[in-house]
Chains A and B, each alone.
Chain A
Amino acid sequence: MPKYAMVIDQRRCVACMACVVACKKENEVPPEQFRTRVVESTEGTYPLLRMELRSELCNHCDNPPCVYNCPTGASYKRKEDGLVLLRKNRCVGCKSCLAACPYDARYINEEKGYADKCTFCEHRIKEGKEPACVATCIGKSRIFGDLDDPRSNVSRALRENHHEVLLESAGTKPRVYYVKKFSKPE
């Protein structure tokens, strides 16, 4: 069984927003709503400034608070591959998952009313393709693959680079990893 994960190599991101556009097009995300975003933040004081470009999306957590808090079982974690998905027909739009997600990864689809989110383009994975954001990334900043396969791109990226997850203290065990540093683990 695959164990899908994504690595965001922040060193390679140029914030072109192609991933955001590709995601919106692929998943028919309504205007002004997003399944993924690129946060641009600056640190320091002028003139000593540094900018961080950080792609954010659903972390497909192994301890997903959105799934635990869903009152109808509409949000679920698929056993086969660990993807956090939504049974749209069951969603009542109570917004419990929106409040529960520490990554603000969910939104109410204004056209359909359900609590939508990134699915790692599950429909594309089924066809053997990569998620739309990964396929379109010009800097190869987004890497997708099977964590259980040591030869996969994600396994290699995690093996060869220091990496971290967002809000580790929340205990959600995310499956989206971030590579920030220019050095290898010792």
Chain B
Amino acid sequence: MELTITGANAMTSPHLHVWDWRVSLYLFLGGLSAGLAIMTSILHVRKGGKLAEGDRAAITAPIYVPVILTIGMLFIFMDLERKLNVFWFYLTVQPLSPMSWGSWGLLVFYPVSILFALATLPAPNRRYLLIPALIRWSEKLQRFKLQLAALNFGMGIFIGVYTGVLLSSFVARPLWNSAILPVLFLTSAMSAGAAFMIMIAQQKKAKLFFTKVDIWLVLAEMVMLPLFFYGQYTSSGAHRESIMPFFTFNHDYFWYGIGMLLLLIVLPIALVMKYLEVHEDHGEELTPVALMKMNVSALMVLAGGLIIRLSFVYAGQLSHLS
């Protein structure tokens, strides 16, 4: 039992959490934009582009990717203590720092997602670009749509994995220091991307296609989460201790317990709802009730992703090697 301590860490002084909700939101929105980039590429490539035909999401989804990423980046920028020094990220490459290769990766992801958005813009909509140079670019890039889709897909995977590697590289924080975390975050990012796609897609075929995709992704998440906790529990004492906030329902760890309970409720319900949506006979058009159910289950998946980021970021800082 420690009697007195003049040290400054999250365990003795919870207000000294290194990273807070801003980083959680950055990881969530970064993951969402990565997942959406992957799903957008699939939308445009699937069945030779037939899935995207006539759907508004084919135009809006690629535009949402850099927009969501920008909002996420804004949160991580808000978290920096010395904002004016941010240019130093791009004056060096630190190969052992995930944050360094992540920041360079984002520098590639941004233009790729914007170029893909330009390439996928249909001819009648190009007039909204207003700037003639952009309109010309959009026309020229049309030919490279497939290549850009592949690049967009690859960068989406990279950023999705990166959001997990950012945390898993810290030997000092046993909760984060797991090889499952990057895969879990990637799966959660893709699942959130598919859920977002379901919400913005107009046509029944696209909505149902991404619902099917999301069923497998949510299922994968639901397998990975217990495996992650099992791995931690059977590892060293510090790793075992690190997951205790999620399973100790006392006032110290109240929010972590609630987070775990919500995940146990939200993900299975979303899964069942999606399963029923796919197997329901919808007829020609989706009814307003069916649309509402789809949106609710998609929102549940998004909420699950946010809960995972928030609880892992905070609980990880409580975990300690000693």
Contact = CB atoms under 8 A, between A and B. Distances in A.
Given A90-B88, A99-B317, A38 B99 contact: no
Given A40-B4, A69-B97, A170-B171, A93 B81 contact: yes
Given A92-B83, A99-B18, 17 more contacts: A33-B8, A37-B5, A41-B1, A42-B1, A69-B97, A71-B89, A72-B89, A72-B92, A93-B81, A95-B79, A96-B97, A96-B99, A102-B322, A104-B8, A108-B81, A113-B82, A170-B172
Interface string B81-124: 11101101101101011111011000000000000000000000
A67 B86 CA distance: 18
B2 interface: yes
A125 interface: no
Interface residues of B, number: 40
A99 B88 contact: no
Interface of A: 17, 20, 33-34, 37-42, 56, 65, 68-74, 89-96, 98-102, 104, 107-108, 113-115, 166-167, 169-172
Contact of B85 (A34, A38, A90, A170): A90
B81 A92 contact: yes
Contacts of B7: 34, 37, 39, 56, 104
Contact of B9 (A91, A94, A104): A104
Contacts of A100: 169-172
Nearest to A69: B97
B6 interface: yes
B103 A71 contact: yes
Classify the interface of chain B: helix, strand, loop or mixed. loop
Q: Which 9 A-B pairs have the closest CB atoms?
A: A93-B81, A102-B172, A71-B99, A71-B100, A72-B88, A113-B81, A68-B96, A104-B9, A37-B6
Given A94-B99, A170-B171, A39 B5 contact: yes
Which of A38, A95, A101, A115 has the most chain B CB atoms inside 10 A of its CB? A95
25 contacts: A17-B6, A41-B3, A65-B171, A68-B96, A69-B99, A69-B169, A71-B103, A72-B85, A90-B85, A92-B81, A92-B83, A93-B85, A95-B19, A96-B99, A99-B18, A99-B172, A102-B172, A102-B320, A102-B321, A108-B81, A115-B81, A166-B322, A169-B236, A169-B321, A170-B321
